[in-house]
Amino acid sequence: DTPGGLETSMLDMVKRILASDVPVIVYVTPSGARAASAGVLVTMAAHVAAMSPGTNIGAATPVSLQGGMDSTLARKVTSDAAAFARTIAAQRGRNVDWAERAVQRAVSATETEALKLHVVDLVAAHLDQLLERVDGDSVRLATRRVALHTRGAPLERVEPGFRQRLLAVIADPNVAYILLMLGFYGLLFELQNPGAILPGVIGAICLVLAFLALSTLPVNYAGVALIVLALVFFVAEIKVTSHGVLTAGGVLALLLGSLILFKAPGEFGRVSLPVAVAGALSTALVFLFIVGKGLQAQRRRVAAGGEALVGQKAEVVQSCAPVGRVRLHGELWNARSEAPVEVGELVEVLSVDGLTLQVRPLSKEARS
């Protein structure tokens, strides 16, 4: 059950089947499954090709992961694939004309049509029925002819390993893109807040998984460069006052980079537009939130040190003419005032010079 795959992988599978000293049965199953594109050639290369009811096979025209091909290159690639399909069909005694049309004209067939056209050998409802029906048949291997003895044979299922199951999940372009963004966020937050540890750990894990997924996908490095450039713009927005220009540039670069991150001929092999837009907007909102909090912190009154005393009100406990003493937050401070101030009056702290406060008397309106 496959929509197809890379030509190199298909060629490796077909070569192994053709050279195999053990009979190979390819079974298109369950109902609703398909053997499309490269799956057509793998199926036709088998010693026995079978299909379940409600399945289909066909449309083996090659496409380029780099996008569109010019007419000359398209003809060369298609002609090469058609010749390869004819060779396989002829070697297995199957319909050569249909194999060629599946490549050149992208024709497909249901399981009943494939059986009538002699594209496959039989239709079986389930695996046990398939093994019963091929029991006693004779197939030709690379060096000899053997009879099949499959009725009641023990079955050993080979399940995908952990790496294959993991790749099946993360090799989706949208998942790989999200992992890449989470990795960047995690490392960025760790660099901004050294010692947080958790963001850095999660970010590193997400980046490793993202790179694993990217190793199986057709990556466009211009898209990666645009995403990195967008993150640089966002970080610069925190450090430089650009009045939103860097943020706008970051959103645009991130959106464009997300849309061209993967090279594929169709939407199935690219980051979907909703995911790309959501990623760009959420990143912009996060950095705008950080910038906003930073500006608020800059405007906030200093809460510690001598600067925190500036603007505070103090009560005179020893007249200042010009030097006296004042009480501020329960502490006694030396004070100096240019204008005379009597005991019990309120003054405002203008500056701090060591242990001496420079003060001025408050007006009646300010005292109230």
- Residues assigned a catalytic role: 37, 76
DSSP-derived secondary structure for 90-113: HHHT--HHHHHHHHHS--EEEHHH
Q: CA-based angle 258:260:264, to the nearest 5?
A: 125
The b-or-e profile of 165-183 (16+ CB within 10 A means b, else e) is eebeebbbbbbbbbbbbbb
> CB neighbours of 298 closer than 8 A, spacing ≥ 6?
none
Q: Hunting for tokens 């002609």 — which residue is that?
A: 79
The structure tokens listed for 243 are: 């009045």
Distance CA 199, CA 185 (A): 8
The overall longest dimension of the chain from CA atoms, in Å, is 120
Identify any residues that bridge with 145 across adjacent strands, giving them in sequence order: 140
The structure tokens listed for 296 are: 């608020």
Q: Are 101 and 81 in contact (CB under 8 A)?
A: no
The structure tokens listed for 270 are: 């690219």
Question: CA–CA distance from 341 to each of 319, 336, 361 (Å)?
Answer: 6, 10, 6
Question: CA–CA distance from 156 to each of 126, 159, 241 (Å)?
Answer: 16, 10, 66
Residue 115's nearest CA partner among 86, 136, 94 is 94
At position 163, the amino acid (one-letter code) is R
- The sign one gets for the Cα dihedral 340, 346, 350, 353 is positive
Three-state secondary structure along 273-305? Answer: HHHHHHHHHHHHHHHHHHHHHHHHHHHCCCCCC
